[in-house]
Chain A
Amino acid sequence: MALAAVVLVASLAPSAAYAQDRPFEGVTLTVITQSPPYIARPVQMLAPEWEERTGGTIDLVTVPFGDLYTQIMSDFALGAGRYDVVIFASAWMGDFAGNRYILDITDWVLVDEDLAFDEIVPTYQDTVRWGDRIYGIPLDGDVHTLYYRRDALENPEYQERFEETFGYPLGVPQTWEEYRDVAEFFHGWDWDEDGRTEYGAIEAMQRGGQAFWFFLSRAAPIVCPEGVEGCLWFDPEDMTPRIDNPGFVRALEQWIEILDVGVPGMINFDSGDVRSQFAAGQASLGFDWGDTGIIGSTSDESTIRGQLGTAILPGSLEVYDPETGEWQTLDEPNFAPFLAFGGWVGGISVTSQHAEAAYDFLAELGSPEFSYIAVTTDATGFNPYRPRHFEDFSRWLEMGFEESDLELYLEAIEASLSHPNAQLDLKLPGQPRYMDAAEVELARALAGEVSAERALENIAAQWNQITDDIGREQQLAFYREFLGLD
C-alpha cells in the first residue's frame, strides 16, 4: 500500500529496500505521542503487524498530554533528533511546520493511492496543510457536537410542560438561547425517575481542561458569519485580536449564565468529567468531542445507553461581523461547528534518518482500513473523518454502540465536519501560549473575579503581547499562511 506510493516519489529516491519482503529490517522508529490509552493505543495496535510486515521496530515514547508539546518542541528546537514520528495536536502545526521541524510530505501523500488522502473530509485535509503544502497525515476527526438525552427531550409530558413555560416546542436546541432554556427546564429535579436529582447542562470549564475550546464552540456561531476569514482569532491585516469584540462578550456572558443550570462543581470540570458524568446520567445536555458519544453508548458503566442523542452544535440568530463591526439579524440560525483541537495528526521529523519507514508507518496508521479499526475501537481517542467511518456501521455495532444512538452520532459528526461554515482551530507558532492566556482570563470571568468584557480585553492585551514577543511581522505572515491568504 503506502510502500508502493513511496516508490513513486522521485525527489526522495526510494531505495531498493522497497522491493524486499521486509524492507525496513533493522530499522527502529521512535514514535512519540500522548500516554496510553488514548492516542497511544492505535500505535500499540498497529506496531506488531507493521513490525512483522516490514522487519522494522517501533519504539513508542509516551508522555502526558500536558507535557507533550514541550517534549516535542524541546527536541526540535535543540536539534536532538530523538524522534522519527511525532503524533501531535494539529493546532501545533504552526510551530512544527512553520519552523520546518517536520517534513513536507506533499509529494508522497498525493501519489499514495492506498492512503486515499482525497477521500478524507476536506476540512481535515486542511489540518495537515501549512500554506499549500502537506506536512502530516490526519489520524483523527475531532469536532465538538451537541449531546442530549432523548428520553428527556422526547418525553411528551415534558414537551407539553416546556411549551407552556417557554412558549415554543421542546426539541433539539437550535440556538444557544434555546440550549439555555432546555438546561433550565431540566435543572435540579429527577426527570428520569432514577431516584436522584439531575441537572441541566454539562460543559468543561476548567483551565487546562480544554475550556478554551468549549468557549470557542459557543462563540463561533455568534462571531463567524460565513466567509469571514479569521473570525475567531486575529485580523489578517495586522494581527489585532478579535477576541474582545461584542460577539465574544455575548458568548462569554452566556457561558457564565450556564453555570446556574449546570452540574454542581462544573466550573472545575475538564472534558473527562463531561464524559463520565454525562454517561452517568447527570445532565440533560452538553457538548464534547466524539468520546462522550462512544462512552455514553458503549460503556458498561453508562446509564444512558440507547437514550443518547447527538446533533450539530447550536447556532445563533444574531451574528457579529468583525469586519463591519455590526450585528446581523438572521431568519435562520447561523451554524459554525468548531473543529476544536483539530484532531491528532502524524508528522515526520526532519532529522529522522528513516523518513521512508516513518512515512510507511504513518500512512498505514492513517489508511482507510486501519483508521476504520482505530475509530471503531474503544479508548483509541480517534474519531471518524473518512467516508467509510460514517457509512459502514458493522464495526461500530460490534464495538457495542446502541443502534438507536449510532445513526444520530455519525450524522452529527459528518454534518459538522462537512459544514460550509466549519471553523478550523488555530495553527500558529505559540498557540499554547495564546490558549493558556485565554484560559486563565476565561476562568477568572467564570469565577466572577472579572467581568466578561474585562476578561476578554485582558486576553486581547496578552495576545498582543505574545504576538510582539514572538514577532508581529513573522506571526502575521504565518497567520496569513494558515488562512490560505498568501
Chain B
Amino acid sequence: MSTSRWVPAAFLMPAVVLLLLLAIFPFVFTIMLAFGRVSLVGGLSIDFGTLRNWSVLLADERFWNAARVTVTFVVVAVAIQYVLGMCLALLVNRRVPGITAFRVLFILPMTLTPVAVGYMWRMLFNESIGPLNDLLSRVGLSGLPWLSQGRYALASLIAVDVWHWTPFIMILLLAGLQAVPQEVVEAATVDGATAWQRFRFVVFPLLVPTSLAAIVLRSLEAAKIVDEVYILTGGGPGTSTESLTLYAYNVGLQGFNLAYGATIAISLFLGVLILTMVFLLSAWSLTASRTW
C-alpha cells in the first residue's frame, strides 16, 4: 500500500477502533456473563467459566413459556401486518386525488412511541371504564377480558402491535410497488391479464425481495418487544404474555441476576439469528427454484 493510502487509513483507525470497542465490548461482556456468576455480596465479584446458567435455562419452565409467547407473537403479528400492509400499500399506490393525505394518515400510528401506544391502549382496554367494553355493552354484548385472561391478553397485544407497525410494512411495500416497472404491468394488461393475475404473476414476484426485507426487519423488532407488554400487561396474567426480552429484563434488572439475564438475552439472540437465517435461506431457495 502506498503512503498516500496509509494516511487516510491511519486517520480513520482511532474512530474505527473506538466504534468496534463500543459495539463489541458490551456484546462480548454479555456473552461472558452468560457463562459466569455475579455476586454483589461484599462488593462486586464475577466468576466466569461455568455452564450452570445454561443448564438452569434448559430446565426453566418460565423461559420456555416466554419463548413460546415470543414466537407466537412474532409469527401471528408479522403475518397479519404483512397481509394488511400489502393491502394498504396497494390501496395508497393508486393515483387518486388526496392520496397523499391518506398515506400520511396511515403512517400516523408508527410515529408514536411504544410507551405512548401502550398507555393509550391500556385506557382503551380498561375493562370497567374503557370505551371498548362500553361500546360492546351499548350493542348488547358483554365486555371482554381484554387483558385479564391469557389468550385475550396475547391477542390484544398482537392487535396493538398490528395497529402500531402495519404502516412500517406498508411503507416498505409501497416503495417496492413504486419501483415495479410499469411497462411490465402494461404488457400484462395488453396480454389480457386480470387485475389478480397481474398482481399474482407480475407484481408480487417483483416484490419478493422487498417483502423478505420487510418481514425480517419487522420480525427482528417484534422479537424484542418489551415496552408495550410491560405497560399493558406486565407479562401477565400469570406469565401468559411474558416475552423473552421482558423475562430477561425482569431477571437481570429487577432481580439483579445479571448472569442469568445475560443468558436469556444471548439465547434470544441465537434464536433470532438461527430463525432469520433459516427463513432467509428457505425464502431464497424457494425464490430461485420457483416461477411465481
Q: Using a CB–CB distance below 8 Å, which chain A residues touch chain B? A: 66-67, 69-70, 73, 77-79, 95, 98-99, 197, 199, 206-209, 263-268, 270, 277, 280, 282, 429-430, 432-433, 436-437, 440, 443-449, 469-471, 474
Chain B, interface residues (CB within 8 Å), range:
35 or more
Q: Are A268 and B234 in contact (CB under 8 A)?
A: yes
Nearest-neighbor residue (CB-CB) of B232 within chain A: A268
Q: List 11 A-B contacts (CB under 8 A).
A: A70-B256, A73-B256, A208-B254, A209-B234, A264-B127, A265-B125, A429-B40, A432-B255, A433-B257, A437-B255, A443-B235
Digitize B227-259: 1 where CB-to-A-CB distance is under 8 Å, 0 elsewhere: 000100111111110000000001101111100
> How many A-B residue pairs lie within 8 Å, measured between CB atoms?
107
Q: Are B250 and A208 in contact (CB under 8 A)?
A: yes
Q: Which residues of B contact A206 (CB under 8 A)?
A: 233-234, 236
Q: Are A470 and B39 in contact (CB under 8 A)?
A: yes
Q: Are B238 and A432 in contact (CB under 8 A)?
A: no
Q: Which residues of A contact B133 (CB under 8 A)?
A: 264
If A73-B40, A77-B43, A78-B44 touch, does A449 touch B143 (CB 8 Å cutoff)?
Answer: no
In the bound assembly, the distance between CA atoms of A207 and B129 in angstroms comes to 22
**Which of B87-95, B144-152, B164-172, B214-222 lines the interface with chain A?**
B144-152
Q: Which residues of B contact A69 (CB under 8 A)?
A: 256
Taking A73-B40, A433-B256 as given, write out 13 further A-B residue pairs in contact, using a Cβ cutoff of 8 Å, ordered by the A residue number.
A99-B42, A264-B127, A264-B143, A265-B147, A267-B148, A268-B237, A282-B128, A429-B40, A433-B257, A443-B238, A444-B238, A447-B236, A449-B238
Q: Which residues of A contact B200 (CB under 8 A)?
A: none
8 A Cβ contacts from B104-138 to A: 125-129, 133
Contact of B145 among A265, A444, A446 (CB under 8 A): A265
Chain B nearest CB: distance from A402 CB in Å? Answer: 23
Chain B nearest CB: distance from A191 CB in Å? Answer: 15
Nearest-neighbor residue (CB-CB) of A67 within chain B: B253
Q: Which residues of B contact A67 (CB under 8 A)?
A: 253
In the bound assembly, the distance between CA atoms of A23 and B88 in angstroms comes to 68
Contact of B41 among A66, A432, A470 (CB under 8 A): A470
Q: Are A267 and B237 in contact (CB under 8 A)?
A: yes
If A73-B256, A429-B41, A440-B62 touch, does A280 touch B129 (CB 8 Å cutoff)?
Answer: yes
Contact of A443 among B129, B230, B237 (CB under 8 A): B237
If A429-B41, A474-B41 touch, does A264 touch B148 (CB 8 Å cutoff)?
Answer: yes
In the bound assembly, the distance between CA atoms of A206 and B237 in angstroms comes to 8
Q: Using a CB–CB distance below 8 Å, which chain B residues touch chain A? A: 37, 39-44, 62, 125-129, 133, 143, 145-148, 150, 230, 233-240, 250-251, 253-257
Q: Which residues of A contact B256 (CB under 8 A)?
A: 69-70, 73, 430, 432-433
In the bound assembly, the distance between CA atoms of A430 and B39 in angstroms comes to 10
Question: Which of A208, A268, A469 counts the most chain B CB atoms within 10 A?
Answer: A268
Q: Are B234 and A208 in contact (CB under 8 A)?
A: yes
Nearest-neighbor residue (CB-CB) of B239 within chain A: A444
Q: Which residues of A contact B39 (CB under 8 A)?
A: 470
Chain B nearest CB: distance from A396 CB in Å? Answer: 29
Q: Are B40 and A95 in contact (CB under 8 A)?
A: yes
Contact of B253 among A70, A207, A471 (CB under 8 A): A70
In the bound assembly, the distance between CA atoms of A141 and B37 in angstroms comes to 37
In the bound assembly, the distance between CA atoms of A448 and B149 in angstroms comes to 10
- Sorted nearest first, the 10 A-B pairs with minimum C-beta distance are A447-B238, A265-B127, A264-B127, A447-B237, A77-B44, A436-B255, A444-B238, A433-B255, A449-B238, A264-B128
Chain A nearest CB: distance from B281 CB in Å? Answer: 37
In the bound assembly, the distance between CA atoms of A433 and B260 in angstroms comes to 12
Q: Which residues of A contact B40 (CB under 8 A)?
A: 73, 77, 95, 99, 429
If A207-B234, A447-B238 touch, does A265 touch B148 (CB 8 Å cutoff)?
Answer: yes
Chain A nearest CB: distance from B249 CB in Å? Answer: 9
Q: Which residues of B contact A447 (CB under 8 A)?
A: 150, 236-240
Q: Which residues of B contact A446 (CB under 8 A)?
A: 237-238
Q: Which residues of B contact A280 (CB under 8 A)?
A: 129
Chain B nearest CB: distance from A195 CB in Å? Answer: 13
Contact of A263 among B43, B128, B143, B237 (CB under 8 A): B128
Q: Which residues of A contact B257 (CB under 8 A)?
A: 433
Q: Which residues of B contact A440 (CB under 8 A)?
A: 62, 239, 250
Q: Are A449 and B240 in contact (CB under 8 A)?
A: yes
Nearest-neighbor residue (CB-CB) of B150 within chain A: A447
Nearest-neighbor residue (CB-CB) of B146 within chain A: A265
In the bound assembly, the distance between CA atoms of A277 and B125 in angstroms comes to 14
Q: Which residues of A contact B43 (CB under 8 A)?
A: 77, 79, 99
Q: Are B128 and A99 in contact (CB under 8 A)?
A: no
Q: Are B129 and A268 in contact (CB under 8 A)?
A: no
In the bound assembly, the distance between CA atoms of A112 and B150 in angstroms comes to 55
Contact of A99 among B37, B41, B146, B251 (CB under 8 A): B41
Q: Which residues of B contact A77 (CB under 8 A)?
A: 40, 43-44
In the bound assembly, the distance between CA atoms of A73 and B256 in angstroms comes to 9
Q: Which residues of B contact A433 (CB under 8 A)?
A: 255-257
In the bound assembly, the distance between CA atoms of A448 and B255 in angstroms comes to 24
In the bound assembly, the distance between CA atoms of A436 and B62 in angstroms comes to 13
If A429-B40, A449-B239 touch, does A436 touch B250 (CB 8 Å cutoff)?
Answer: yes
Q: Which residues of A contact B255 (CB under 8 A)?
A: 432-433, 436-437
Q: Which residues of B contact A264 (CB under 8 A)?
A: 127-128, 133, 143, 145, 148
If A264-B143, A429-B41, A444-B239 touch, does A277 touch B128 (CB 8 Å cutoff)?
Answer: yes
In the bound assembly, the distance between CA atoms of A95 and B125 in angstroms comes to 39
Q: Which residues of B contact A268 (CB under 8 A)?
A: 147-148, 233-234, 236-237
Q: Which residues of A contact B127 (CB under 8 A)?
A: 264-265
In the bound assembly, the distance between CA atoms of A66 and B255 in angstroms comes to 10
Question: Which of A264, A265, A474 counts the most chain B CB atoms within 10 A?
Answer: A265
In the bound assembly, the distance between CA atoms of A282 and B127 in angstroms comes to 12
Q: Which residues of A contact B62 (CB under 8 A)?
A: 440
Q: Are B128 and A199 in contact (CB under 8 A)?
A: yes
Q: Which residues of B contact A73 (CB under 8 A)?
A: 40, 256
Nearest-neighbor residue (CB-CB) of A209 within chain B: B234
Q: Which residues of A contact B240 (CB under 8 A)?
A: 447, 449
Q: Which residues of A contact B239 (CB under 8 A)?
A: 440, 443-444, 447, 449
Nearest-neighbor residue (CB-CB) of B153 within chain A: A268
In the bound assembly, the distance between CA atoms of A449 and B240 in angstroms comes to 9
Q: Which residues of A contact B44 (CB under 8 A)?
A: 77-78
In the bound assembly, the distance between CA atoms of A197 and B44 in angstroms comes to 54
Chain A nearest CB: distance from B29 CB in Å? Answer: 13
Q: Which residues of B contact A95 (CB under 8 A)?
A: 40
Question: Which of B62, B129, B146, B230 counts the most chain A CB atoms within 10 A?
Answer: B129
